[in-house]
Amino acid sequence: MKVYESKDIRNVGLVGHGDSGKTSLTAGLLFTAGAANRLLRVDEGNTITDFDEEEIARKFSISTAVAVAEWKKTKLNILDTPGYNIFINDTRASLVAADSALVLVDGVAGVEVQTEKVWSFADDFKLPRAVVINKLDRERADFTRTLESVQAAFGRAAVPVQLPIGAEREFSGVVDLVRMKSYTYTADGDGKGKEGEIPAEYAEAAKAAHEALIEMVAEGNDALLEEFFDKGTLAPEQIDAGLKQAIRELRIYPVLCAGALHNVGTDLILNFIVENMPAPTERDGFASVTADGKESTQKIAESGPCSLFVFKTTADPFAGRITYFKVITGIVKNDAALQNLTRSAPERFAHLSTPQGKTLQPATELHAGDIGAVAKLKDTLTGDTLADKGHTATYPPVKLPEPSIAFAIEAKSRNDEDRMGNAVHRILEEDQSLRFYRDPQTREFLLAGAGQQHVEIVVSRLKKRYSVDVTLKAPKIPYRETIRGHADVQGRHKKQTGGHGQFGDCWIKMDPLPRGAKFEFANEIFGGSIPRNFIPAVEKGIIETAEKGFLAGYPMVDFKVTVYDGSYHDVDSSELAFKLAARKAFKAAMLEAKPTLLEPIMNVEIQAPGEYSGDLMGDLNSRRGRISGNETKGTTTIIRAHVPMAEMLSYQSDLTAMTQGRASFSMEFDHYDYVPQLQADKIIAAAKAAKTGEEEEEE
């Protein structure tokens, strides 16, 4: 592929709510630019950026894909990102490589929950952006209504630079409000608009919108404002220059029109990206950390030693690990020998490439700001920094929220069990928002993700890619046991055998501790009633017995044991005898100390359209939840609550049903709290029944 200088590169992320048409618009842009030989369609399963077998089967994007087009001697790296809430973390992780964004809004549905979320991602990375009102060729599409939705959510800075010609099936062209020309498209979907005069029926609306655009462009520029007051208008070249500056300063978010299904408006979008979106070298810089640990910014520049940031990794069962990166400084060449600064490991770039969906096109060199890929690096993972000698700054990884839901994962056979760990870890390299770990209490392997569908897709990939069959189960709730009262008891162990006997005798006091204090042991023995060398055995006996619980077999926490008296025998006492005495003392204490169950309480945050807030809060109350906060951002309501983990195991599917898939939630552990007696009785009964069943099986 041709080598491009930094000034001739544009990295643009296509973001938006699920099903807003990002992949379809990407297909249209690639076809119009000549990067694809025909207009590919999502419903046919052949698009360049939805190539994963799960994406083809489900007909939506699961992870970000990169595709390349050339337009007006400029290289466009297009990042087609996921839009559904359970895969939205991948969008955030990938936008670090973009220098601008196109925010797609469905011309029928308007601004949706994830539209606002990806907008906040663009805010975090300070990305210049434009809004594309897509699907204007669909039934019930309405540009005016959707524009009102956009401006309600993002303010008057979202100003049209285009108006549609026709509506729904009759949508056939676009009015350019800068040059005041019309562009009409033929039914063959070639994406090349024919320039002409604005049709008479659109002239008045176009003039009003043109004047509104000029006012917005002039508003933040003193020289243009003076010109506007003096002449009442601005020349097209002044509008162009002012618009370009306003986009970079995040003062204006231009609104464009598109109909991806019939490829209407894609040539004008390509023009817009080339003419108005910044080259990588025009951005403020890339977040970095200096060798002495200070936060800084690294200007993207072709000069200096080569450095690059890895923003994505995929695990291909045939090609192996594929690493996607953005060049930050210098020029990276094929066969480059770089140092992984994050892991202190050398790497050699044997197959430098430019990604085109799943196809890797060989490249000889890539300049600062460009996006590339390389296969089969040994140690490099997502978030790593690679550089030439002489470059010491590293680029910090993007922070993603912790997974919201976990499932127990179990191999179906011994053969699957042997290969499961390695296969799961290869998928973890690809998806940074997954977690795989073993619960020390329940001893289950847990796979945690952003939602049930997220985890199910991992299970499907395990089978299709690595021939590993596993089953998913709801995880066991890691209950704990504690006490609410005081106990003062004796534990005495005496056993006489033919030789030496066993004798241990201890008096203990047991008291509750605050939540999170775990366990304290105090020795108040005076006068040698128990020799000092036997005290650790008492503590060990308490700890071992507490691990097995008393009510339902769950570990005991947040209690204090004080040993204050006892007796011993010169010959028969031993560490084992005092450990057994401590066990008896623990069990006796539990009968007096009002034992109870604790359950994990989760900190839950839900983002949903405002009209669902009442139903959602009512549902949380029915799950024994306590609402801790409720705020509104635009059309989105954010509800925060503390809810028992036991009530949240099926929440993903329930939330989807309640909101037609328009809401998302995150969940993390917050604290332990008492289980209400009614629920505690059921848990204890179930634990006893399970224990009885195990004993019968052993017999």
Residues 145, 231 within the same domain = yes
Contact 530, 566 (CB under 8 A): yes
> What pLDDT is attached to residue 274?
97
Residues 438, 581 within the same domain = no
Q: What is the CATH number of the domain that holds 561?
A: 3.30.230.10
- Mean pLDDT over 615-642 rounds to 90
**What's the predicted TM-score (pTM) here?**
0.78
Mean pLDDT, rounded, of the chain = 90
Residues 176, 209 within the same domain = yes
Where does the pLDDT of residue 224 fall: very low under 50, low under 70, confident under 90, or very high at 90 and above? confident
Contact 328, 286 (CB under 8 A): yes
> What pLDDT is attached to residue 332?
96
> What pLDDT is attached to residue 476?
77
Which of 422, 449, 473 is where one domain is finished? 473
Q: How many CB atoms lie within 10 A of CB 331?
A: 19
The tokens for 629 are 């906060």
Where does the pLDDT of residue 696 fall: very low under 50, low under 70, confident under 90, or very high at 90 and above? low
Where does the pLDDT of residue 694 fall: very low under 50, low under 70, confident under 90, or very high at 90 and above? low
Q: How many CB atoms lie within 10 A of CB 317?
A: 12
> What pLDDT is attached to residue 695?
58
Which of 446, 473, 500 is where one domain is finished? 473
Residues 275, 290 within the same domain = no
- Mean pLDDT over 534-547 rounds to 95
Residue 301 lies in a domain: yes
- Mean pLDDT over 63-89 rounds to 93
The tokens for 473 are 């189960």
Question: C-alpha distances in angstroms, 146 versus 84, 112, 177?
Answer: 20, 11, 18
Residues 586, 609 within the same domain = no
Query: What domain count does the chain have?
Result: 5
The 10s digit of each residue's pLDDT in 443-456 is 788 888 877 788 88
The 10s digit of each residue's pLDDT in 325-383 is 999 999 999 989 999 999 999 999 988 999 999 999 999 999 999 999 999 899 999 99
Percent of the chain with pLDDT over 90: 62
DSSP state of 60: S
Residues 374, 429 within the same domain = no
Residues 589, 603 within the same domain = no
Q: What is the CATH number of the domain that holds 421?
A: 3.30.70.870
Residues 497, 554 within the same domain = yes
> What pLDDT is attached to residue 327?
97
Residue 572 lies in a domain: yes
Number of Cα atoms under 13 Å in the Cβ half of residue 272: 30
Which residues are CB-contacts of 663 (< 8 A; sequence separation ≥ 6)? Answer: 85, 113, 606, 607, 608, 609, 612, 616, 655, 656
Residues 272, 295 within the same domain = no
d(CA 142, CA 133): 10
d(CA 241, CA 276): 9
Q: What is the CATH number of the domain that holds 70?
A: 3.40.50.300
- Mean pLDDT over 276-299 rounds to 92
d(CA 282, CA 103): 21
DSSP state of 221: -
**H or E segment and range at residue 598:** strand 595-609
Where does the pLDDT of residue 698 fall: very low under 50, low under 70, confident under 90, or very high at 90 and above? low
Buried b (16+ CB within 10 A) or exposed e, 638-676: ebebbbbbbbbbebbeebbebbeebbbbbbeeeebeebe
Report CA torsion sign: 158, 159, 164, 168: positive
> What pLDDT is attached to residue 225?
78
The 10s digit of each residue's pLDDT in 1-33 is 689 999 999 999 999 998 899 999 999 999 999
User: Could you tell me what percentage of the chain is helix, strand and coil, using 3-state DSSP and rounding each to the nearest 5?
Assistant: 35, 30, 35
Residues 223, 362 within the same domain = no
Residue 685 lies in a domain: no
Range of the domain at 237: 8-282
Contact 150, 255 (CB under 8 A): yes
The tokens for 611 are 């009209």
